[in-house]
Structure 1
Amino acid sequence: MSYRLLLLGMMILCAAHVYAQQGRVVVGRIDIEGDRITKRSVILREIGMHEGDIIPRDSLELMVNRNKQRLFNLQLFNEVDQDVVDGRGDTVIWYIRVKERWYIIPIGILQFADRNINTWWADQGHDLRRISAGLTVTDRNFRGALETLSITAQAGYTQKLGLSYILPYVNKQQTHGIGITGSMARSRQIYYTTAGNKLRFAGDLTGPVVWQQAEGGLCYIHRPGYAKKHTIQAIYKRIWVGDTIAMLNPGYFADSSNVARFAEVNYRYEYNGVDNWNYSLRGEKLVATTVARVGMEGIRYQAFVNYEAGIFRGIGKRWYAAAISRGRLMLPQKLPYYFRNGLGTQTDYVRGYEYYVTDGYNYGLLRLDLKKELFSRTWSLPVRYFTAVPVRIYPKVFFDAGYINGPAQNGNTLNNTLMYSIGAGVDIVTLYDVKVRIELARNHLGQNGLYLHFNSE
């Protein structure tokens, strides 16, 4: 071992001598402090740098800033500090100091059955029985290797048990990973159709179960570089609804069935070339997913492609602009009700239309933002895992537009119609990637509304 260390040292010194005249330096040593749980190999993989690497001296500051942001994007650390110190000859010593987060995070203590807080409050009379209580306990750094282990136990409106495990690295180069997921859920009430651009529910909150779902899947992950990731997933899913649901909407599944069973294969490509994966201000992002479903019961086949593309720019001192586009192309154009969720049922919606749902097939969505960083401060606390509490506040103005094609029936007047809105609001970003959006929007129907969300645009 000592012979090998001596040989490595001689090689580093020789390399330093060769590259000294070219304004380059050799990374002689990388010291990491504070990684009590996180493995050293995980940190080195993210920064893409190792002892013995040769880099231009005038790039040191750029690499310090880049490495700091990359380590923050792991969402494993509350603080990241770096120092580069000249060593012997033209070598440098790279010091990295991190303060780890609390990795075991409980999520979903209170989960609304409805699409957002506004809908729950206004349309459902803020009925507390429409809240699911439970825990999704996620260890985001299981065994210190960036593995994710998540266990869900939930009661209330929707009862659920779930387990997922992601092993991001299975090879020495840390480019390949695998995962497994499984879950079971049930509820005594679900929505069975859309009428007047509103979801209509059936079932008694104290009555028998009217919806059950079980699924399991395997995934393969290939991450060749810092910003790019490919995921292939195979899933089997079975969904059952009570006879009441099938009777109220015979087209809920195909052939008036009250059961849908299908196998799904999907491929997802991600390019995250943004500064902050949690709340982006600069850079570009692209996520594209291709899905193919083969039905065994309740559905014949379905294929669709959806995407999300974002461009984020700093346009002045503390001023930022963003353009985000999302869309979907689907085949066939005639599908059972359950499989044509469109705008409004999940995270894709035109702001200002939070109270509405538009089902359909192909859709497009555009969001434009202009914001200013009004406040940014970090408080230090003598509390482990909460050593730094950041708060950033961004007032903004925005414009949204969206369109979806689909059957305009049951009073669903927003299908095949250009929806658009303007508005203003404020984003608040704080500890553990918590985001709060408060937005005032006016839509093309002339309606004004104040909305509250807990995610990014």
Structure 2
Amino acid sequence: MLLLSFLSTFWLSLLGTSADTTEKVVVRQVAFTGNFRTRERIIRREMDVRAGDTLSYRKLDSLLLYDRRKILNTNLFVTVELRKKPVVDTTQLVYITADGKRIANLKEIDLEVIVKEQWYLLAFPVFQLADRNFNEWWYERGRDLSRTIYGVYALHQNLTGNNDKLRLRAEFGFIPRLDIYYSIPYLDKKQRTGMTIGILRLTNRALAYRTNRDKLTFLTGSEGRTRERIVPYLTITHRPKFYGYHSFSAQYSTTSITDTIAKLNPNYFLNGNKRQNYLQLAYSHFYDRRDRGQYALKGYIYGIYVSKTGILPKDDVNIFETTVDFGQFIPLAKKLFFSYLSEAKFSTPGRQPFLQTRGLGYGGDLVRGYELYVIDGQHYGYVKTNLRYQALNRVFNLSKIIKFRQFNTFPLAIYPNIYADFGYVRNQYPELNNSKLANRLLAGVGVGIDIVSWYNFVGHLNYSVNHLGEARPYFSFGREF
């Protein structure tokens, strides 16, 4: 009993109140501060607590903890604070429970939501590598600066204050690209249904036309265009509650290649074809209960993706694909965290165009330690495990140095970690690309350090060893999942 009493007192001190946690309290009003551009309804959409709610102190503090996380996960704000203010009033409030019991003299509180908005308009020059990742460019392409992309990137992350995004990406150099899209999360009054519409045009001069021994083989020295692709697309999203998302998308792809590519790899579009047209329909659903989408330490996430490529009678592709994801983040101690992320993909038929045959090695779908390899296949699965320690997690106030409110708060977190990854790629035609890594277990282990900072930046510096005995450092940035 003494231990229970001590724990109760300790918990109440963390909540900042000495009141009985079962005592009822009325939320008189909810006010918002700092949302100069963002509309209140966008923030209210993320909150369980509403004006007029009658809750116990314990329930209120629990809901506010989750509400803060959900508001942060909109990626609209640098900081979010939910502040309770007791109301001094002699008026007696009477609460009547479901069984008719009357509770008099209820306390009232006002809730203030204090946010600091990010800088929403981003416009800057683009200079990046054309390869799959930094490690491939550094180790495999001889750090060739001609394999770079330059241009301009402009993004408004909150165009009308409704968390809507407008993006323009115009790139030149190794892979010219033009990408324009507009996205609005909520079209209806209930704030459940949204839309994204856009168009992508991609031109390749140097092109990876096949893989050989699990490495991309490029056609170089071509002065003209080796491939051109145009893809208009439309996505409808539906978010009925807080954590679950549904999306329905349609895109029409038109891609053409030169005679040279078709001769070097007749399987690029299959049968030596030089043109590929298709309509693709896809559905995805994911449920996200992580504490922070940027870099999660607690919670879980799962999702499913289903697509049919080739809907129209004259389409040149006929592929059905399903991908399933699951990840869990588990606090083990005050500063020690464990996580695992898993994904499995299944597709049919077995014989697919090279352009659509995607196994491990693209984007974040890889086993760490194999960043330099592309392992093609119709099916794959992997699991990534991490044990990380929170060496630093602070927010620095730079208001004396930087006057812009969007930049004078500098969050910085550092997590040393160890990891072990496992994966498998099933390729029904490994002889087409002389694959040595398909159809066998892949394993990579290592140590690393993660840095989390401004505007959802996450950097990873790892030192990995794979089953081949290859050991080297790798660098990457972006979310794990």
Residue 3 of structure 1 is matched in structure 2 by none
Residue 285 of structure 1 is matched in structure 2 by 301
Q: TM-score, structure 2 length as denominator? A: 0.88
Residue 172 of structure 2 is matched in structure 1 by 155
Q: Would the alpha carbon gap of residues 435 and 162 (structure 1) be closer, same or farther in structure 2, given more than 3 Å must change? A: same
1:391 pairs with 2:394: no
Residue 328 of structure 1 is matched in structure 2 by 345
Question: Once structures 1 and 2 are overlaid, which stretch shifts more, 172-181 or 61-70?
Answer: 61-70
- The answer to whether the 8 A contact 1:321-1:368 is kept is yes
Secondary structure at the residue paired with 1:41? Answer: helix
CA distance in 1, matches of 2:254, 2:25: 58
Alignment of 1:372-391 (within 5 A): 372-382=389-399, 383-384=403-404, 385-391=406-412
Q: Give the partner amino acid of 2:424.
A: Y
| Match for residue 408 of structure 1 among 420, 424, 430 | 430
Residue 53 of structure 1 is matched in structure 2 by 53
Q: Give the partner amino acid of 1:64.
A: L
- The answer to whether the 8 A contact 2:276-2:317 is kept is no
1:132-184 deviations in Å (ceiling 9; x for gaps): 11233221111000111111111111111111111111111101112211111
- The answer to whether the 8 A contact 1:305-1:328 is kept is yes
1:66 pairs with 2:66: yes
CA distance in 2, matches of 1:308, 1:25: 41
Question: Once structures 1 and 2 are overlaid, which stretch shifts more, 393-402 or 135-144?
Answer: 135-144
1:319-368 deviations in Å (ceiling 9; x for gaps): 00001101101011111111101101232011001111110111001101
1:168 pairs with 2:189: no
1:425 pairs with 2:448: yes
Alignment of 1:32-111 (within 5 A): 32-87=32-87, 88=89, 89=92, 90-106=107-123, 109-111=126-128
| Match for residue 132 of structure 1 among 145, 149, 170 | 149
- The answer to whether the 8 A contact 1:299-1:336 is kept is no
Secondary structure at the residue paired with 2:332? Answer: strand
Runs of 4+ in structure 1 off by over 6 angstroms are 295-298
Q: Give the partner amino acid of 2:310.
A: V
Residue 251 of structure 2 is matched in structure 1 by 235
CA distance in 1, matches of 2:114, 2:211: 53
1:425-457 deviations in Å (ceiling 9; x for gaps): 110101111111000111001110110001233
CA distance in 1, matches of 2:29, 2:363: 48
CA distance in 2, matches of 1:143, 1:204: 46
CA distance in 2, matches of 1:166, 1:283: 27
Q: Would the alpha carbon gap of residues 108 and 372 (structure 1) be closer, same or farther in structure 2, given more than 3 Å must change? A: farther
Residue 135 of structure 2 is matched in structure 1 by 118
Secondary structure at the residue paired with 2:41? Answer: helix
CA distance in 2, matches of 1:272, 1:387: 30
Q: TM-score, structure 1 length as denominator? A: 0.92
1:213 pairs with 2:250: no
1:301 pairs with 2:318: yes
- The answer to whether the 8 A contact 2:169-2:179 is kept is yes
Structure 1 unaligned residues grouped into runs of 5+: 1-19
Shift of 1:107: 7.0
1:46-68 deviations in Å (ceiling 9; x for gaps): 11332222322222322232222
CA distance in 1, matches of 2:346, 2:35: 45
Task: Indicate the percent of aligned positions where both proteins have the same amino acid.
Answer: 28
Shift of 1:26: 2.3
Residue 206 of structure 2 is matched in structure 1 by 189
Secondary structure at the residue paired with 2:234? Answer: strand
- The answer to whether the 8 A contact 1:178-1:218 is kept is yes
Alignment of 1:314-353 (within 5 A): 314-353=331-370
- The answer to whether the 8 A contact 1:261-1:295 is kept is no
| Match for residue 261 of structure 1 among 270, 277, 284 | 277
CA distance in 2, matches of 1:130, 1:344: 19
CA distance in 2, matches of 1:298, 1:218: 19
Secondary structure at the residue paired with 1:348? Answer: coil
Question: Once structures 1 and 2 are overlaid, which stretch shifts more, 134-143 or 352-361?
Answer: 134-143
Secondary structure at the residue paired with 2:412? Answer: strand
- The answer to whether the 8 A contact 1:258-1:298 is kept is no
Work out the number of aligned pairs and report it: 437
Secondary structure at the residue paired with 2:255? Answer: strand
CA distance in 2, matches of 1:304, 1:108: 36
| Match for residue 247 of structure 1 among 263, 286, 298 | 263
- The answer to whether the 8 A contact 1:260-1:295 is kept is no
Structure 2 unaligned residues grouped into runs of 5+: 1-19, 93-106
Shift of 1:387: 2.2
CA distance in 1, matches of 2:153, 2:284: 24
CA distance in 2, matches of 1:218, 1:275: 30
Residue 25 of structure 2 is matched in structure 1 by 25
| Match for residue 370 of structure 1 among 360, 377, 387 | 387
Supply the RMSD in Å over aligned alpha carbons. 1.8
Secondary structure at the residue paired with 1:342? Answer: coil
Shift of 1:298: 7.4
